[in-house]
Amino acid sequence: MRKKILNKTLIYTLIGSAMAFICLASSCNLDEYNPTAGDATETSFNTWSGLLVQCYTPLYDQLFSASDFLYVSETGTDLWLSHNDNDNTKELYYYEGLTTSTNGTNKLFTQAYSVISTCNSVINGATALEDGDSATINEMVGEAKCLRGYYYLLLATYYGPVTLNLESAGVATNMTPKRNTIAEIYTQIIKDLTEAASSLGVTPLNGTASRVCKKTALGLLARAYVQGAGEGLSENGTSYWQRAKDVSEELIANASSYNAMLYDNVADLWSHANNRDNKEALFVASGPVSGESDAWNYASKSNKLFSYTYCDPNSLPELVIMKNKQNYFYGRVNNNNFAPSKYLVGCFDASWDSRWENSFTTAFANFSMVQPGWLTYDANVVTLTSTICSKYGIDASHIGEKIYPYADVNATAATYGGNQYVASVWPKGVHSGDINKLEASTNVYVNPYPLQADEDRFAIYLSKDNMSAIEKAARGYAVININDLFASDGRYLSTAAEWTAKTGQVNNGYELYPSLSKFNWSYYGLNYGSNLQVKQGDMFIMRMAEVYLIAAEAEQKLGNGAKAATYLNVLRDRAVRAGAAKHDLTSATEQDVLDEYARELCGEFDRWALLKRHHAFETALPKANPRAAASFNSAIDYYRPISYDFLSQIDNAEQYGDNGYGQTGSSGLNGFLSN
């Protein structure tokens, strides 16, 4: 009996969930309201608007702060390999043992479904409200439709034909749910996003940047059309590729009227000063703001994503001294597992493309904490000894030279959120430790590129260009060629013996890799005190650059390679570093489009969906991720397995199916994939 009650409770959450009337807003930027207070009838505008706040909760509570969605959306592709070729999350990196109970896919299914019934309650309940401004109500219904469309787009992209539920919370739970066809689901997604675009304002309601607005709905509409195009869908005889082209090009052509834009320089995109109010953002998951507002107490504080994408420079402890659990500069980088593939590294021509250093940290340094008085300037100065020089291939002429701290980290108390650790930069050549000499940085994790030979503030440099042993020895810091981190088959070296055999060095250089820096920030308002594993910056869900990529992708698919190139060139041109020539394309191939997506959106929850809609796993994986290619099964792996938690709670799991992963008698897909 208890099992049956538990089952019904959980399935209620997934498909017909009863609304728990608690405001768990992931961002305190949203208007907060606790529907348990006062009038709890759904005809009250205040109660109803509290439901809308709930519709946002999966975004920062789970999807864009926990690692599950990052693994599901980015790994198993040509962009990412596991650190040292380890087996951590091999189910998603390499399709080895992927089942319905695999953590990432199991949780994503639940997260995406968790508030759909709440969205339905907002949409369906609007007409019953007895108070509230009608224009505001209409716009808030648009918000709910936009969010519902987004959540169903996640489900359709990763799980295919699932159950389409438009019923409000509180409706009797169906314990024998049926799938809808992929066409039916996309039709509803398109309807929701189209209606949302019509209802939403150009600026978010009440000026709250974390709320969706018109450009959000239009951007997601373009994304929905382009993803559905990969399913072969059409609308009234017009292909989704054409629809994706039309929507994306309209948004680009009239960007100013939607308050949408691209930064002119890619450095501004990743400037930490722009993280909380990024003009290029179409849709964000907004992190809680540490400071003086007690709203911080009620927000999710779990974003550890940077700790997965960074390597641990303390793997070379003679050079980067501080252990990760005390690293107030980089943060506690202890989950290190998202290592870029050789293909991804090779996508960047760093001689002109500044997206390289704006995406990856490749030079690692020590830090001081002179400002708060915690760590003197001299405490983390490294003096090169004969042992260090011999171990890391540095010429003996550098013995006695020093490597100085690159950054000084302040510790400013906040009432809510604890100490805030903001880093400033010591200018090159300034060794006084005088804090009056410190300089602000737009992004302290964007290291100078290329790193100069006489640089004395960095201890380790991962060089994209192959340097000879003589060239490396001439520098007063350790240089590791990125190419040396890879085995001949493209995987990362996994043992010290392999590293020594390849480089002749006896050290832990093989533990490092270029580290995606898109989730690592340093500014006031994002830290969680002594928990150095958490940084609570805003996360892009979609930004304007993706609209240019969608326009290029659709044009190329429609046979207009020259037009596609014009959209790619906009992104390429803004990334050209000072003094370098432009590298414009005259006509774009499908591979050009895939490569540009890699350069622009690597790590931004996109790659698996892109390869899926291009049916490109079979061609991309053998070249970039051969371990995944060996296990990838095109008969099942174009859809992720249906959640074990869901299947174990419904009464018709065998009929519903698991998408072909062997835990149910059938895949459940037959008859639901046709248009």
Residue listed under structure tokens 């005889």: 237
Q: Is residue 248 part of a domain?
A: yes
Residue 7 or 96, more confident: 96
pLDDT at 396 over 60: yes
Q: What confidence category does residue 298 fall into, taking pLDDT thresholds of 50, 70 and 90? A: confident
User: 38-42: long-range contacts at Cβ-Cβ below 8 A with a sequence spacing of 24 or more?
Assistant: 42/121, 42/125, 42/128
Q: Do both 277 and 349 map to the same domain?
A: no
* Model pLDDT, residue 156: 99
The closest of 224, 231, 173 to 646, measured between CA atoms, is 173
pLDDT at 514 over 90: yes
Q: Do both 479 and 430 map to the same domain?
A: yes
Q: Is residue 532 part of a domain?
A: no
Q: Do both 75 and 116 map to the same domain?
A: yes
Q: Do both 442 and 323 map to the same domain?
A: yes
Q: Which residues does residue 409 pair with via DSSP β-bridges, in sequence order?
A: 423
Domain with residue 232: its CATH number is 1.25.40.10
Q: Do both 378 and 478 map to the same domain?
A: yes
For 166-192, what is the mean pLDDT?
A: 95
Q: Is residue 534 part of a domain?
A: no
Q: Which residues does residue 348 pair with via DSSP β-bridges, in sequence order?
A: none
- Domain final residue, candidates 516, 548, 583: 516
Helix (H, G, I), strand (E, B) or coil at 306: helix
pLDDT at 210 over 80: yes
Are the beta carbons of 102 and 641 closer than 8 angstroms? Answer: yes
Q: Is residue 142 part of a domain?
A: yes
pLDDT at 21 over 90: no
Over residues 82-134, the pLDDT tens digits come to: 999 999 999 999 999 999 999 999 999 999 999 999 999 999 999 999 998 99
Cis upstream peptide for 450 (omega within 30°): yes
Q: Is residue 348 part of a domain?
A: yes
Residue 168 or 26, more confident: 168
* Model pLDDT, residue 171: 85
For 393-409, what is the mean pLDDT?
A: 99
Token pair for residue 568? 């790619």
Q: What confidence category does residue 385 fall into, taking pLDDT thresholds of 50, 70 and 90? A: very high
Q: Do both 340 and 235 map to the same domain?
A: no
* Model pLDDT, residue 597: 99
pLDDT at 650 over 60: yes
pLDDT at 28 over 90: no
Q: Do both 225 and 189 map to the same domain?
A: no
Element (H, E) at 343: helix 342-347
Residue listed under structure tokens 């192959």: 466
* Model pLDDT, residue 295: 86
Q: Is residue 664 part of a domain?
A: no
Q: Do both 230 and 353 map to the same domain?
A: no
Domain span holding position 352: 305-516
- Domain final residue, candidates 456, 484, 516: 516
Q: Do both 13 and 78 map to the same domain?
A: yes
Q: Is residue 528 part of a domain?
A: no
- Domain final residue, candidates 472, 501, 516: 516
Structural domain total, the chain: 3
Lowest mean pLDDT across 181-185, 457-461, 671-675: 671-675
Q: How far apart are CA 660 and CA 672, in angstroms?
A: 13
CA 667 to chain centre: 30
pLDDT at 158 over 70: yes
For 645-651, what is the mean pLDDT?
A: 96
Mean pLDDT over each residue of the chain, to the nearest integer: 93
For 422-428, what is the mean pLDDT?
A: 99
> What percentage of the chain reaches a pLDDT higher than 70?
94
For 366-385, what is the mean pLDDT?
A: 98
* Model pLDDT, residue 41: 54
Give the contacts of 9 (CB within 8 A, at least 6 positions apart). none
Domain with residue 74: its CATH number is 1.25.40.390
* Model pLDDT, residue 675: 58
Q: What confidence category does residue 24 fall into, taking pLDDT thresholds of 50, 70 and 90? A: very low
Give the contacts of 600 (CB within 8 A, at least 6 positions apart). 355, 545, 546, 549, 571
Lowest mean pLDDT across 24-38, 137-151, 650-664: 24-38
Over residues 300-339, the pLDDT tens digits come to: 889 999 999 999 999 999 999 999 999 999 999 999 999 9
Over residues 43-68, the pLDDT tens digits come to: 899 999 999 999 999 999 999 999 99
Q: Is residue 240 part of a domain?
A: yes
Q: Do both 113 and 57 map to the same domain?
A: yes
Q: What confidence category does residue 170 fall into, taking pLDDT thresholds of 50, 70 and 90? A: confident
Are the beta carbons of 551 and 249 closer than 8 angstroms? Answer: yes
Q: Do both 397 and 485 map to the same domain?
A: yes
Q: How far apart are CA 589 and CA 566, in angstroms?
A: 12
For 542-557, what is the mean pLDDT?
A: 99
* Model pLDDT, residue 6: 31
Q: How far apart are CA 498 and CA 486, in angstroms?
A: 10
Over residues 565-574, the pLDDT tens digits come to: 999 999 999 9
Give backbone dihedrals phi and psi of 190, rounded to 5 degrees, phi first.
Answer: -60, -40
E strand residue ranges, 51-199: 80-82
Lowest mean pLDDT across 188-192, 276-280, 295-299, 362-366: 295-299
Q: Do both 277 and 192 map to the same domain?
A: no
Token pair for residue 452? 């100069």
